[in-house]
Structure 1
Amino acid sequence: MWMDALPQAVILTRDGAVTRVNAAAARLWGVTQDRAVGRPVLEVVRRHTLEALLERGGELELEVSGRTLRCTATRDGADGALIVEDVTDHRRREAELREATAVLSHEFRTPVAALRGVLEALEYDMPPELSQNFVRQGLQETERLARLVEDLAVGFRPTRARTLALAEAFTRAERLLAPELLARQAALSFGTDYLVRADPDKLLQVLLNLVENALKYGPAGRPVDVQTAGRGTWVEVCVLDDGAPLSDTDGLFRAHTRGAAATGQGSGMGLYIVRSIVQGWGGQAWAERRDNRNAFCFTLPGVGGLGS
């Protein structure tokens, strides 16, 4: 029968008793079609919510064993029909889209701020060499924005991994963070250089997020140190600040989560983005208390040579 070809579960009823179930409904409720016919609706669907829905008609969503079911009921006198569709994958894609939008919004913020600073600087007369330096910075951030736009179509996996020296990422991060370092009167230091395998822009995003957090939540005027160490075939990078001890450090890496000391506006996505990027290249990201300082750490693939 044509009903058995439908992916949705369908139950037909009359006067509260089942007259027909299709193959999908038989699988969903674990009952054979022959045994379902003639039985009260409640004995088949085993949920008063669905029995009531059939009586009044309408639509609702149910969470059943980790699945999201969209249930639609119609009535025509004594006859009724219940259609149940598994929309779990659809809801998951919607959640991923919302998450991707939040991630993109967060990632766009840094290059946009950098470009604004470059354009503001270029409004003033300055030596040609300095002006050219600002133009180069602007072009570099424009390229970064272009790559982020491409990520709209291909997701957030680090697809442009190459071998680079950590010092390359450190230099870019220090330049972009210069205004914040000056405002906080904080010094930024970096550890031993290593050759690593990573997407340079993703690595920069991780560093910016961690150092910006250290500057925001650590005491003004206190240094922020980026320490490095070899861990077998991996390289460990830790950003240390003198902020107050943190509780539930693992929870800080969840989406839309902010620490107890967080003030002002924020998406709560920074550390979630850090962990997502790091896990994308197979590494780990965590926070711990180290030598009476907060340490936010991550690992990335090392390459034999520099620093080894």
Structure 2
Amino acid sequence: MTDRPPGEPGRTRAAGRSACGLFALAGVLAFAGMVQPGARAGDLLVVAVADLALAAVAWWTPQRGAPLLAVAALVVLAYSAWAFGGVAAGTGPFFVLLFAWVGLHHPPWTAVALAPLTASAYVAPLLATHQPPEVVGSAVVFVPVTTAVGEVIARRVRQLHRARMQVEAAERWRAALMVTLAHDVRAPLTSVQMALEMLDDDPQPEPSDRHRLAASALRQTARITRLAGGLLDAGRIEHGTLRLDRRPVPLRAAAEAAAALTPAAALTFIAVPADLVVDADPDRLEQILVNLIGNAARHGAAPFVVAASADGAAVDLSVRDHGTGVPDDKRAALFERYAPGAGGTPGSVGLGLWIVRELARAHGGDARYEPAEPGARFVVRLPAWSA
């Protein structure tokens, strides 16, 4: 078993090369059987040569061609059973080994698809050698059990592969998170430290300077608080303990307040009707807006536009930038737990958009991406307030 997803280097020939070992073993055993008293040396030689030829072909067979090896192996197994008078004692274990190999390297449907051919390869030699009905009838048990072996192994392998990918994604996310936290916390702390040092150097600053420094320090501490709140909310969402304090929230005022908290505030246009009111938790709504505006500022280009429109009992709230947009191959994973940012920036931990979607869903809505041509538009649907 390999832990690489299909198509990566190292996996493209893994199925064929493991089949090579299986066929080589069958060929060597066939050669060894030739020295046994009463052995049908001619038939064993044909089986041995066929198995070793398959082993050689399998060594160079890429992943996409590997299922054809199973078909060829079933033909050899059918010949073996026929040549030895329909006795399946020697071929039965190889049927099982073949399906175990199928399960290790192919999706579950492959084993099911091979079942009719397996039934033919097992039953035809029995019929050709005029075996009694009870022997032929053993296929009713043998073929389903063999197929089930392959399918069960295939499903288990896929489960283990998904679990491993999730663990690796979580480890990558944690590593990136540490780097992101170090950057996002250090920058505002540096600003706070500089403000405090300037106040310490000048015990009696001008009121305007004191106000400017205090405002700067307060903005940066608020930034740290929002970061900590986002991480706490991520934990609450993951454990299902998030609680909302819902009330009527004027959407335009919320958008203006959120825009003022982001680096892109001076470049953000608010196109939200003054009379739109949503049924939302004000703090979570601010978090949604700050995350979306911040995401646009990091990955897009000005101007940034916050807009909203009513749609029946719901309100569509959108944040658009005028950058290059999100590549097609990145869109499916935009809102996933460990996905990179909208622009695929290395080191991005993929937390903001995931939180946006989960907070929207907690309100009974959802989040989606739309290409804006030019740029990207992220839309959040929230319930409208109904008095």
Kindly state the Cα deviation for residue 232 of structure 1 after the two structures are TM-superposed.
1.9
Q: 1:47 — aligned with what?
A: 100
Look up the equivalent residue of 1:239 and give its one-letter code: V
Q: 1:279 — aligned with what?
A: 361
Match runs of 1:245-260 below 5 Å: 246-248=326-328, 250-251=331-332, 253=334, 255=336, 256-257=339-340
Structure number with higher relative contact order (C-alpha < 8 Å, ≥ 6 residues apart): 1
Q: 2:243 — aligned with what?
A: 160
Look up the equivalent residue of 1:47 and give its one-letter code: A
Identity over aligned pairs, percent: 24
Q: 2:156 — aligned with what?
A: 67
Match runs of 1:96-111 below 5 Å: 97-98=170-171, 101=174
TM-score, structure 1 normalization: 0.55
Q: 1:114 to 1:160 in 2, by over 3 A?
A: farther
1:120 is paired with a residue whose SS is helix
1:227 is paired with a residue whose SS is strand
**Pair 1:235 & 2:315 matched:** yes
The RMSD of aligned alpha carbons is 4.8
Q: 1:21 — aligned with what?
A: none
Kindly state the Cα deviation for residue 228 of structure 1 after the two structures are TM-superposed.
0.9
Q: 1:124 — aligned with what?
A: 198
Q: Distance in 2 between matches of 1:234 and 1:111?
A: 36
1:212 is paired with a residue whose SS is helix
Unaligned stretches of 5+ residues in structure 2: 1-89, 105-150, 200-204
Is contact 2:180-2:347 (8 Å) kept?
A: no
Q: 1:239 to 1:289 in 2, by over 3 A?
A: same
Kindly state the Cα deviation for residue 214 of structure 1 after the two structures are TM-superposed.
2.7
Is contact 1:230-1:236 (8 Å) kept?
A: yes
Q: 1:143 to 1:250 in 2, by over 3 A?
A: closer
Kindly state the Cα deviation for residue 272 of structure 1 after the two structures are TM-superposed.
4.2
Q: 1:187 to 1:91 in 2, by over 3 A?
A: closer
Q: Distance in 2 between matches of 1:201 and 1:103?
A: 26
Structure having the larger proportion of residues in helix: 2
Deviation digits for residues 59-103 of structure 1 (CA, Å, limit 9, x no counterpart): xxx99454348xxxxxxxxxxxxxxxx868965874685487479
Kindly state the Cα deviation for residue 191 of structure 1 after the two structures are TM-superposed.
1.5
Q: 1:215 to 1:139 in 2, by over 3 A?
A: closer
Q: 1:83 — aligned with what?
A: none
Match runs of 1:292-307 below 5 Å: 294-304=376-386
Unaligned stretches of 5+ residues in structure 1: 1-37, 52-61, 70-85
TM-score, structure 2 normalization: 0.46
Q: Distance in 2 between matches of 1:251 and 1:271?
A: 12
Q: 1:203 to 1:213 in 2, by over 3 A?
A: same
Q: Distance in 2 between matches of 1:266 and 1:243?
A: 20
Matched residues, number: 239
Match runs of 1:1-308 below 5 Å: 42-44=94-96, 46-48=99-101, 64-68=153-157, 94=167, 97-98=170-171, 101=174, 113-125=187-199, 127=207, 128-134=210-216, 136-137=218-219, 140-141=222-223, 143-145=225-227, 147-148=229-230, 150-151=232-233, 154-156=236-238, 159-162=242-245, 163=247, 164-167=249-252, 169-178=254-263, 180-181=264-265, 186-193=267-274, 194-219=276-301, 222-244=302-324, 246-248=326-328, 250-251=331-332, 253=334, 255=336, 256-257=339-340, 262=343, 265-267=346-348, 269=350, 270-290=352-372, 294-304=376-386
Is contact 2:180-2:348 (8 Å) kept?
A: no
Q: Distance in 2 between matches of 1:217 and 1:208?
A: 14
